[in-house]
A and B are shown apart, each in its own frame.
Chain A
């Protein structure tokens, strides 16, 4: 999508310890006319400090930082920069890493070997409210959100939250098609919506997953007596 028409550039911040990737991302952003790099951090500490500064629209975060995990940066960004889309950068896009980030509140993931053009387009997708997804992630998310039984002792609170995080029919359909290997534009054709709408479905699904993992954390804490009812 040409950026010239946009009233305001997409503000991007990077938390990445590897200088090669840091500069690669920075170069890709610089090459895109509709984006603006507003902050760079090389460690968890710097990343958390970054959150006190100018608010970014998209935050690229590496999980494996030398002084801690990027997961904490993602979580902190949720409160510090409401509406900011955190994106985890990953070498392989494997389920383990991506799921951890999404459950912490990430809106998407970016493969580190992506071409500069792909990097820019992924950032645009996320900034516009969409999220990418892979078949394995789709399968995993379906399995997680289908575990319908509420945690023991959670009571009606869990029952209410349960309906909040339940997948809609369309969302389930999107996940199924992704798991079958269909591309976004093919799914959009099938559901008779735009490609962007499909991507926003994915964003909504991720949000539910995040709510659910928070809920589980509360339930676990309650079961262990860490929280009063």
Chain B
């Protein structure tokens, strides 16, 4: 019951849509006052005779005047179960009376305009007994969708305007027949009306399907090169639609192929359309529904194979067509709804749009089915083509969107590629520079090791051997000189060790080397250092300057200050590091007077070379020496080459 109500609603919807359309297009001229030169005939007379034929009738038979019955127009002979078999042919005769006032004008300007007739059969029109129209190709594809537009009097006949018009409809009894209201009148009064209907009913959809076919061919090229199913489906859809639309447009002239094949094609192109749009929608959602896809494809294929023209004759096909359409419609509705549900769950916007549009155009299909079976006003337009046009627009939009997305993606990929390439180039350059730096460092290290090995085995060993000899010979003066030489050498060696910017390590090394000497001299060393930030500029050259400065200062303390204690401290002061050596001796001035003067000049020179400051402060008893080192050297104040005399030892 609910489903029935829903179907009703759809029909009503379709009616409303149609009404709107007709009002918009046909309403304008219809509203403009009653046309004096044309009349719409809503009444006629008719009779139905059995034993007709689809052969071209030879002459006009005599009709029994008594059998004429009045009938309103539009006239519908419903489908009927034929006692004489499915091929029984009836002839419907309809007699129209041309209103007398219309016959007064120029007979050549008189036109008959029949918006629609529909049947499986042929239609022939006589004006006062003279044949003025005969429908096209064959009984099935007979150009039913083309409005009839015929002059009622030929120029050369010499007769006046006809009084009656006879319409002969030879039709399959089982299919029935239908005839719309008829217009008779002056060509000018009717042509606009005819043009509009011709445009909407025939031309617009024809041009639309042709344009869509072109896009389909384009898509098929894309599919051939890209193998993306969406493009293939789009192309298939376009071809199917074009073929499908043909049965609305062809038939006024001879068909390009046998009627049964033509029928077969147009009927099954509808199955193709249905399946293609469903697969298109499902693929847009990005899912697969094999349980739905394969039955639909199977049904369509089976139906197509079963109704191949060699297996079934055309009139029979015309009989089963409505049933086939109905099955297809049901399947279509089910498939559509199922995919809408899936798309909704997957929240696939594009798929949802396509499926929603497919479902939305379904009432149009229902309407057409009803129209085909004379269930709605016979003068309605077939709306399927308009639905197709809308769907085609949606498909086109989506394919275009995907194409644009692909182009954008490719552009982004290109950019990304370029970015990566640049990054890789930079990495390569950096890595190259790092390698070169490492290489340089390795060269320096090898050189340093060679030098140290040499000093160790050569100069160092010789000095120590000499010291041992001096000690053995109890030559105290010589031994002391040698010890000082050895100390100097050790500090030089230490300065070459990689201290890695660690000033504290350098100071520690100094203590390690000289601590015993201080103790032996009776000076107690207090070591009060704290961790310091790294000094990046502390290369071996600078390290040696720092070592020599402090060596000199400590030596001065031992030699001249008479101190008993010395305190070495480190501190961070702003962006400077302060190394302080404080003693409890006799004071700086006094010490300087005793001959440390030359050493002070050396200290200043070295401090300057490394961008440091050296200063002496009087501190209670004793002296406080401060070496102030920058954390970062402003620029490479290259240390001058060592001048050899850097020690007070020998002074």
The interface of chain A, by Cβ under 8 A from chain B, is: 18, 20-21, 23-24, 27, 64, 90-97, 112-113, 118, 134-136, 139, 178-183, 186
Contact = CB atoms under 8 A, between A and B. Distances in A.
B507 A181 contact: yes
Contact of A181 (B461, B471, B472, B504): B504
Contact of B527 (A27, A91, A136, A181): A181
A180 B509 contact: no
Nearest to B496: A94
A135 B490 CA distance: 14
Interface in B157-195: none
Given A18-B465, A21-B468, A96-B453, 5 more contacts: A18-B461, A20-B468, A92-B460, A113-B463, A179-B505
B457 A94 contact: no
B222 interface: no
Interface pairs A-B: 9 shortest CB-CB: A181-B508, A135-B508, A91-B460, A181-B511, A24-B468, A112-B464, A20-B465, A20-B468, A113-B464
A146 to B, nearest CB: 13
A181 B502 CA distance: 12
B512 interface: yes
A94 B497 contact: yes
Contact of A20 (B456, B457, B469, B511): B469
Interface in B446-476: 449, 452-453, 455-457, 460-461, 463-465, 467-469, 471-472
Contact of A94 (B493, B516, B527): B493
A181 B463 CA distance: 26
A50 B515 CA distance: 36
Given A64-B457, A92-B493, A139-B502, A21 B465 contact: yes
Contacts of A27: 472
13 contacts: A20-B468, A21-B465, A91-B456, A91-B463, A92-B455, A94-B494, A113-B486, A135-B511, A135-B512, A136-B509, A180-B504, A181-B511, A183-B511
A134 B516 CA distance: 13
B324 interface: no
A186 B527 contact: yes
The SS class assigned to the B binding surface is helix
B448 to A, nearest CB: 9
A213 to B, nearest CB: 18
A107 B507 CA distance: 25
Interface of B: 449, 452-453, 455-457, 460-461, 463-465, 467-469, 471-472, 483, 486, 489-490, 493-494, 497, 499, 502, 504-505, 507-512, 515-516, 527, 529, 531
Contacts of B507: 181
Contacts of B467: 113
A222 B493 CA distance: 37
Contact of A91 (B464, B505, B512): B464
Contacts of B511: 135, 181, 183
Given A92-B489, A94-B493, A136-B494, A179 B508 contact: yes
Contacts of A92: 452, 455-456, 460, 489-490, 493
Contacts of A139: 499, 502, 505
A21 to B, nearest CB: 6
A134 B512 contact: yes
Contacts of B455: 92
A201 to B, nearest CB: 17
Nearest to B500: A139
Contacts of B489: 92
A134 B493 CA distance: 14
Nearest to A177: B508
A64 B497 CA distance: 21
Contacts of A179: 502, 504-505, 508
A136 B502 CA distance: 11
Contacts of A186: 527
A135 B515 CA distance: 13
Contacts of B529: 180-181
B514 to A, nearest CB: 11
Contacts of A90: 456
Contact of A97 (B456, B505, B510): B456
Query: Which one of B489, B502, B512 has the greatest number of beta carbons of chain A within 10 Å?
Result: B512
Nearest to A134: B512
Contacts of B472: 23-24, 27
Given A64-B457, A91-B461, A180 B468 contact: no
A183 B515 contact: yes
Contact of A178 (B493, B494, B508): B508
Contacts of B449: 96
Contact of A95 (B453, B468, B497, B502): B497
Nearest to A136: B497
A64 B467 CA distance: 19
B96 to A, nearest CB: 102
A144 to B, nearest CB: 14
Contacts of B460: 91-92
B456 A134 contact: no
Nearest to A97: B456
Nearest to A62: B461
A107 B177 CA distance: 119
A152 B456 CA distance: 36
A96 B493 CA distance: 11
Contacts of B457: 64, 91
A118 B529 CA distance: 27
A183 B493 CA distance: 21
Contacts of A97: 456
B452 A94 contact: yes
Contacts of B483: 113
B599 to A, nearest CB: 23
A21 B493 contact: no
A135 B456 contact: no
A181 B456 contact: no
A228 B397 CA distance: 67
A13 B399 CA distance: 93
A178 B468 CA distance: 29
Contact of B505 (A113, A135, A183): A135
Contacts of A96: 449, 452-453
A139 B453 CA distance: 21
Contacts of B531: 180
A20 B464 CA distance: 9
B508 A180 contact: yes
B456 to A, nearest CB: 5
A23 B494 CA distance: 28
A135 B509 contact: yes
A40 to B, nearest CB: 16
B565 to A, nearest CB: 15
Contacts of A181: 504, 507-512, 527, 529
Nearest to A21: B468
A152 B527 CA distance: 43
A136 to B, nearest CB: 5
Contacts of A21: 464-465, 468
Contacts of A178: 508
A178 to B, nearest CB: 7
Nearest to B490: A92
Contacts of B493: 92, 94
B102 to A, nearest CB: 106
Contacts of B468: 20-21, 24, 112-113
Contacts of A20: 465, 468-469
B428 to A, nearest CB: 24
B607 to A, nearest CB: 21
A6 to B, nearest CB: 26
Contacts of B464: 21, 91, 112-113
Contacts of B512: 134-135, 181
A112 to B, nearest CB: 5
A189 B511 CA distance: 18
